[in-house]
Amino acid sequence: MSTKHKIDLYALTWRLPIILWQLIFFVGPVVFMIAISFFVVKNYRMTEAFEFVNWQRMLTRGYFWDSYWYTLFIASLSAAIAMMLAFPAAWALAFRASENLRRGAVFLLIIPFFTSYLVRTFSWYVILAESGVLNAMLGYVGLGPFKMLNTHFGTVVGYLTLTLPLAVILQTVTMANIDKTLVEAARNLGCKPLATIWRVVLPLSKTGFVVTALFCFILAFGDFVAPFYLGGSQEPTLPILILDTTKSGQQWPRAAVVAIMMMLTLFAVAFTAIMLAYRKPKVAR
Amino acid sequence: MHGRGLNIILGVYVALIFTFVFAPIFFSLVFSFNSQRFPTIPLGEFSTEWYAKILSDPDIWQAVRNSVIVSTTTAILATTLGFCTAYTDFRYNFRFKGPYLALILLPPTIPLIIMALAMLAWLSRLGLSGQLWSIIMAHSVLTAPFAMAIIRLRLHQMDPDLEAAAWNLGGTEWQAMRHVIVPFCMPAIISSLCLTAAVSFDEFAVAWFVSGLNKTVPIVILEIVQGNIDPQVNAIGTFVFLTSISLVVAAQVIFISRQIKSHS
Amino acid sequence: MEKSNKKQQKHYLRRDVLRIGGGVVLSTPFVGRAWAQTTEINMLAWYGHGEPDMVGAFEEANNVKFVPKYYAGGDNMLALIAQSPPGTYDIILSDGEFVQQLNAAGYIEALDPNDYPFEDMLHEDFTKFPGHWDGDTLYSMILRGGHLGVSYNTTAMSAEEASSYEGFWKPELKGKVGHFDWHLPNLGMMSLKNGNGAGLWDLTGDQWQAVQDTTMSLRQQVGGFFDYGGTFNGLKNGEMLAMCGIGDWITGVLERDGAPVASVIPKEGGIQFTESYCIGKGSSKADLVKSFIQYMLSPEGQVKSAQMLAYPGFCVTKAGRAMLQEVDPKEAKRSHQMDGMPNDPIALINEGRIHYRDIPQQQSLEDWNDFWSEYKNA
Amino acid sequence: MTEPLVTFRNVEKRFGDFVAVRNMVLDIHEGEFLAIMGSSGCGKTTTLRMLAGLEAPTAGEIRMAGRLMNDVKPHERDTPLVWQSLALFPFLTARENVEFGLKMRGVGAAERKRRALDWLDRMQIADFAERNVATLSGGQKQRVALARSLVMEPKMLLLDEPLSALDANLVIRMQGVLTKLQKELGITFVYVTHSQSEAFAMADRVVIMSQGDIAQVGSPKDIYRTPANRFVAEFVGRNNILSGKVLGGDAKGMQIATPQGTFTAQTPQTPLAPGQSVSFAVSADLLTLSETEPDTVNKAQATLISEEFIGSLVTLFLEGADGMEFKVQMQERALMDLDLSPGATLWLGWDAASASILSEG
């Protein structure tokens, strides 16, 4: 706590190694990736250079932009669906469930996070197949079969596998932390239940919800497993494009271009979201 | 507020959500004991064939061994990184604290596939790719923020006077760290070790890119899914599930339940 | 650079011991630690080539252990080699048409032709396979081949319909046609459909445009793009009723499993994939690898290749074929590897209905690849 | 007196632009009970933290027994602190908490235990020695905290509002415990508080701080009866503060003209020139109240506004000329024969000795 200008060995011990570690293993790779996007590939070998050819090539390709808008769309859509599906459950857990029940539910929802996502995806594959579990069950009640695999539906189911538990957990925790008396006060003042949610619960949970939606978006945006195995990679999302690009002929520089475009998009989305989340709520909406 | 009917509807809804979340886990378990190579309805016979197969495959044992090495080392490294950052954030104020915190907190916002690409390119440039170490370095960066968050939350609950009290009673800064900060954070440290180990144990995108010829369990799963797809995947999945779940339960029992309790 | 890629690791378990039973294994998983050190051979190959059914017996006999890295396409293979230090891979299983590029880039060692049974080849093409020789120097040893045509679900398509690539456009198949996610075999087939015949890889600008148009017209039929596992699963569970870009190498596995699928070589002609072994440049285990290649070219090895669990390929040696007929007549019959049988792969080659897979002659691989990405996004 | 235990010489502490302590000059003597008092943000806690070495002065010198302490680290000092939050280690038992300092100083386990139990016994909580501190009551925790500091056998004990979290009854009890301890041990207590009653009840000397400055140092009685300046007068007790201009005066008294009339106050040590602006304070309990004009030196008429009872003590609020509010404090029975209906006009009276001139500061 001294204000001396001597080198404080103790303070540096907790600071310097982390800075170094993160510079080498986090900043390093990201910066290097940016550098790579200017390299060129000759005979399947990457050669150092400073050329814009990769940028030019990728950004002028129709399929890049098709993938880009599709990925943005499907990731946003699945984040929105995850948020909406999660809300009633989270609301019930936050306001209607006992504390023990809530804790148990959150605990259960943590479990899937630590089971293999690949295995769960593979399981969906079997469930959603035309001859799969779900269609068989629907068949008993005379419905279907429906084509669910290799469709946008399949992709979204895959994304939800990843994001829905997270959305429910974060929403529940957010709403459980709302001061209950505010909700009761609103009810007491004659606010109808739905209006209470709209005028009291949602504004109070805004920050938490925006962050939750952002996480859902990030997870879906960067996932290649769901669109590939459940969506039949049509249309290919950006992560699949990255894989395709690296697979075909060491085109790392072009993959780097795609990756950088993804990062820029994410930063833009995250920035907007954070601005939204921390903006002062309008009074009396 | 009104009543029973709403509660029932909500209960059913929550049950549906849980069904969605647990269906793949449940069916994976079922298929792992199903004799068919390509599971369809109706199911085939009960069989432990796939378990016998993975248990007798030395490559899978090697992968398990690799995964254990990677996840424990990652857990220790990430928790150390997380602890240092959390403590620095708790204790100090300095000019570039914002960037400093961003440095450790940003990685999860970057999609794994991008991290994977960048890591491989960078590590092979440094001559560090294709080894177990490569996975560990990448995973430690990816999981440290979770460790940081857990430990920071715990420190947030600590009376800041405790550390000063230790100095005041004649302890050096190092002694205070050892006898006060670390014991106080111990539950969070253990939780963090469990959680980071579990995350690392299941991560495949980055591991797949940087691992070279060293395979961890999720990479083996990925290769089976990409290649000779068969219910071994489910058997391994069940195994991974059991491992992760014991780690998570440990973490839960020790720390998380306390967090939720004190926050609601 | 680093030696670690080649670093010797202890071989923990021996397969035969483990086959005794899982329970024993579970209690003593690392019992093999004290055993003699095993030489590791790094293999770069398509999925399945490093699995126990292929290499297990050789590993046993020679106290070696194969460490496989699987790739997904020839350009992927080249990329993987390019980004690894020389000597990383001891043995490379390459598609025939990529050998030339491997050689040009200096990734592979020369072989001694006297080591291998060239006198016993089933077809003269196999002795002087394109790209495998540079003048009189041998660089790659052919292992096996397979034919690509129309693969289909026999309940959804008749053999008649499948006998032309036209079959993919059958209205009932809308959304049920799948692609193996690699441009070469798919675009090759479209080129054959356009009647380019033997010139399927040597396309003028107009022809290339026509191939693109033909391909695009198929897009509405397409239900997905799959890797090996996905192709497999899609055909098996009926999600896909016809697949473009594959052949018996996938349907054969499913047939063995009792699925109603088949592959035929349509009247426009079929494509042959050819798989060949190369020795990685700078490998310190070239002698071991050589004896492995010899082993795989022996009748025993050829039978293993024909029976390979991941996907079958036909024998290239007469002795291998004879032995297959003897030890596994069922598989020999299923794969038509019997003289006088219709669709005998060797007979198909003799009839001129088979074209070896190659890389585009007038366009770059990149152009094809770019079009493929566009097509996927369409 | 012997050489002071602690000397502050022109000590200043800044946090960025904020000056927490300004040009502090203060001696702390051996064996005294010194209270530092002030409202929050006045610098009292910063002063204490500088004594403990938790903050280093920005300028000036702090010496302990002659030794310059500015840059001596906290753990190299002998200044145990009883924290406002108590800062007991929640993962340790009561005994382990008390042992902590000894452990840091490398005292052997057996010796540590003996001394810790000894002190716990002395604080009458030996029964709870092996209990986790989280399970103890507020008063018990307080005693553990005291024992933890005193087991170090310091020459000086620092206390930072240690009683602020306790309920009123317990505060009185603990005040007794603290004064008794201090007398028995004969060591210096430096006690920081915002509570007048605590400071005045226990301390030998009180330091009153305001915005980083020392406003007054003195015995409780000095401060109460003769506040040095307007701040102290307003802060301490219930003072009536009147402002005006000096007319003149001699050693016996000074005449001051105010909007409420001309009054005589005690002559300060530094005489004031006529015409100078000045304030003086009269403690509320030194005012007399009557229906007829009193025969005191100073008198003024005022209208009763309201009254406030605390037990048998009554505070009356009256309005004098120019809207000046007077406060009068007295026993209830002394008011028996007065007409106390609101709006009644009453006479206030006080002696010149009761009115002390405040230095402007």
List chain C residues with pLDDT less than 70.
1-36
DSSP letter for each residue of C220-269: GGEEEEE-HHHHHHHHHTTS-SEEES-BHHHHHHHHHTT-SEEEE--TT-
Q: How far is CA D39 from CA B139, C134, D212, D215, in A?
A: 52, 95, 11, 12
* Residues C354 and C147 sit within 8 Å (Cβ to Cβ): yes
Query: Cβ separation of A234 and C374 shorter than 8 Å?
Result: no
Eight-class DSSP state of A151: S
Nearest chain B residue to D154 by CA: give it. B169
* Cα D156 to chain centroid, rounded: 18
Eight-class DSSP state of B107: G
Give the residue from D77, D78, D104, D161 with the most B CB atoms within 10 Å of its CB, the best one to mutate.
D104
Checking if the pLDDT of B100 tops 80, the result is yes
Measure the CA–CA gap between D350 and D354, rounded to whole angstroms. 7
Residues of B with Cβ-Cβ distance to A177 under 8 angstroms:
263-264
- When the pLDDT of each residue in chain A is averaged and rounded to a whole number, the result is 87
Among residues 43-82 of chain A, which lie with CB inside 8 Å of chain B? none
Retrieve residue D106's tokens: 């490398």
Mean pLDDT check: name the lowest of A183-187, B49-53, D1-5, D273-277.
D1-5
Confirm or reject contact between C209 and chain B (CB < 8 A).
no
Could you tell me if residue A30 is inside a domain?
Answer: no
Using one digit for the tens of pLDDT, what is the confidence trace for D17-59? 999 999 999 999 999 999 999 988 899 999 999 999 999 999 9
Measure the CA–CA gap between C85 and C42, rounded to whole angstroms. 13
Average pLDDT over residues A37-46: 82
Could you tell me if residue A136 is inside a domain?
Answer: yes
Residues of A with Cβ-Cβ distance to D73 under 8 angstroms:
2
- Give the structural domain span for A120: 62-278
Give the residue from A248, A250, A258 with the most C CB atoms within 10 Å of its CB, the best one to mutate.
A248
Q: Which has the closest alpha carbon to B41: D13, C234, D330, A134?
A: A134
A82 vs chain B: nearest CA distance in angstroms? 11
Touching D (3+ Cβ pairs <8 A), the chains are: A, B
Question: Could you give the angle at the alpha carbon of B218 between the alpha carbons of B249 and A262, nearest 5°?
Answer: 100
D50 vs chain B: nearest CA distance in angstroms? 12
Nearest chain A residue to C223 by CA: give it. A150
Confirm or reject contact between D55 and chain A (CB < 8 A).
yes
Give the residue from A39, A78, A95, A114 with the most B CB atoms within 10 Å of its CB, the best one to mutate.
A114
Query: Cβ separation of C51 and B228 shorter than 8 Å?
Result: yes
Q: Identify the pLDDT of residue B258.
A: 55
Q: Identify the pLDDT of residue B255.
A: 62
Q: Is the peptide bond before A145 cis (omega within 30 degrees of 0)?
A: yes
Residues of B with Cβ-Cβ distance to D75 under 8 angstroms:
167-173, 175
Measure the CA–CA gap between A256 and A13, rounded to whole angstroms. 35
Angular region, D315: left φ>0, alpha ψ -120 to 50, beta rest: beta
Using one digit for the tens of pLDDT, what is the confidence trace for D164-189? 888 888 888 899 999 999 999 999 99
Q: Which has the closest alpha carbon to B227: A234, A22, C49, C336?
A: C49
pLDDT band at residue A30 using 50, 70 and 90 as cut-offs: very high
Query: Cβ separation of A150 and C73 shorter than 8 Å?
Result: no
Residue D345 host element (H or E): strand D345-350
Query: Cβ separation of D91 and B184 shorter than 8 Å?
Result: yes
E strand segments, chain C: 39-45, 64-70, 91-95, 133-134, 137-138, 141-148, 150-153, 177-180, 222-226, 242-244, 261-264, 270-279, 354-356
A80 vs chain C: nearest CA distance in angstroms? 24
In a 3-state reduction of DSSP, which class is residue B154? helix
ipTM summary value:
0.80
Mean pLDDT check: name the lowest of A18-22, A128-132, D316-320.
A128-132
Backbone angles phi, psi at C84, to 5 degrees: -110, 155
* Cα A168 to chain centroid, rounded: 14
Could you tell me if residue A42 is inside a domain?
Answer: no
Measure the CA–CA gap between D138 and A125, rounded to whole angstroms. 61
Measure the CA–CA gap between D40 and A282, rounded to whole angstroms. 35
Query: Cβ separation of A236 and C223 shorter than 8 Å?
Result: no
Touching C (3+ Cβ pairs <8 A), the chains are: A, B
Could you tell me if residue A66 is inside a domain?
Answer: yes
Where do the domains of chain B lie? 50-263
Retrieve residue C166's tokens: 């036209």
Query: Cβ separation of A66 and C369 shorter than 8 Å?
Result: no
Measure the CA–CA gap between C33 and B58, rounded to whole angstroms. 12
Among candidates B40, B65, B228 on the partner chain, residue whose Cβ is nearest the Cβ of C237? B40
Q: Identify the pLDDT of residue A280.
A: 61
Q: Identify the pLDDT of residue A249.
A: 64
For the purposes of burial, counting CB atoms within 10 Å of the CB of D269, is it exposed (0-12), middle (13-18) or buried (19 or more)? Answer: exposed
- Give the residue with greater pLDDT, A73 vs A205: A73
- CATH number, domain containing residue A98: 1.10.3720.10
Q: Identify the pLDDT of residue D226.
A: 85
Confirm or reject contact between D73 and chain A (CB < 8 A).
yes
Retrieve residue A281's tokens: 């709520």
Query: Cβ separation of B179 and D52 shorter than 8 Å?
Result: no
Could you tell me if residue A56 is inside a domain?
Answer: no
In a 3-state reduction of DSSP, which class is residue D118? helix
Confirm or reject contact between B212 and chain C (CB < 8 A).
yes
Measure the CA–CA gap between C89 and C78, rounded to whole angstroms. 12
Structure-derived torsion over alpha carbons of residues C56, C57, C60, C64, reported in degrees to the nearest 10 = -60
D39 vs chain A: nearest CA distance in angstroms? 24
Query: Cβ separation of D101 and B169 shorter than 8 Å?
Result: yes
Measure the CA–CA gap between A78 and B246, rounded to whole angstroms. 30
Measure the CA–CA gap between A114 and A110, rounded to whole angstroms. 7
Confirm or reject contact between A1 and chain D (CB < 8 A).
yes
A243 vs chain D: nearest CA distance in angstroms? 51
- C and D touching (3 or more beta-carbon pairs closer than 8 Å): no
Average pLDDT over residues D278-299: 89
Confirm or reject contact between C239 and chain A (CB < 8 A).
yes
- When the pLDDT of each residue in chain B is averaged and rounded to a whole number, the result is 86
Q: Which has the closest alpha carbon to A124: A33, A36, A230?
A: A230
Measure the CA–CA gap between D76 and C371, rounded to whole angstroms. 75
Among candidates C14, C69, C257 on the partner chain, residue whose Cβ is nearest the Cβ of B213? C69
Average pLDDT over residues D65-70: 92
Could you tell me if residue A55 is inside a domain?
Answer: no
Eight-class DSSP state of B119: H
Retrieve residue B257's tokens: 């339940």
Confirm or reject contact between D15 and chain B (CB < 8 A).
no
Per the structure, how many domains does chain A have?
A: 1
Handedness of CA A49, A55, A57, A63 (dihedral sign): positive
C150-153 and C354-356 beta bridge pairing:
unpaired
Among residues 171-200 of chain C, which lie with CB inside 8 Å of chain A? 175, 178, 181
Retrieve residue C114's tokens: 């006297």
Among candidates A43, A61, A233 on the partner chain, residue whose Cβ is nearest the Cβ of C376? A233
Query: Cβ separation of A114 and B110 shorter than 8 Å?
Result: no
Residues of A with Cβ-Cβ distance to B42 under 8 angstroms:
136
Measure the CA–CA gap between D304 and D202, rounded to whole angstroms. 35
Handedness of CA B155, B156, B162, B163 (dihedral sign): positive
Using one digit for the tens of pLDDT, what is the confidence trace for C55-94? 999 999 999 999 988 887 787 788 788 777 888 899 999 9
D6-15 and D59-64 beta bridge pairing:
antiparallel
pLDDT band at residue A171 using 50, 70 and 90 as cut-offs: very high
Confirm or reject contact between A234 and chain C (CB < 8 A).
yes
Q: Identify the pLDDT of residue B126.
A: 85
- Beta partners for residue D229, in sequence order: D359
Retrieve residue B70's tokens: 């990677």
Measure the CA–CA gap between A164 and A171, rounded to whole angstroms. 10
According to CATH, the superfamily of the domain at B50-263 is MetI-like (1.10.3720.10)
Measure the CA–CA gap between D141 and C257, rounded to whole angstroms. 75
Query: Cβ separation of D80 and B179 shorter than 8 Å?
Result: no
Kindly give the residue spans of alpha helices, DSSP state H, lying in chain B: 4-32, 49-55, 58-91, 97-105, 112-126, 132-156, 161-168, 173-176, 182-202, 205-210, 217-226, 232-251, 257-263
In a 3-state reduction of DSSP, which class is residue D265? strand
Give the residue from D45, D71, D75 with the most A CB atoms within 10 Å of its CB, the best one to mutate.
D71
Average pLDDT over residues A128-135: 84
pTM: 0.82
Retrieve residue D199's tokens: 């400071």
* Residues D88 and D141 sit within 8 Å (Cβ to Cβ): yes
Residues of A with Cβ-Cβ distance to B199 under 8 angstroms:
114
- Beta partners for residue D193, in sequence order: D37
Backbone angles phi, psi at C222, to 5 degrees: -85, 135
Nearest chain C residue to A130 by CA: give it. C239
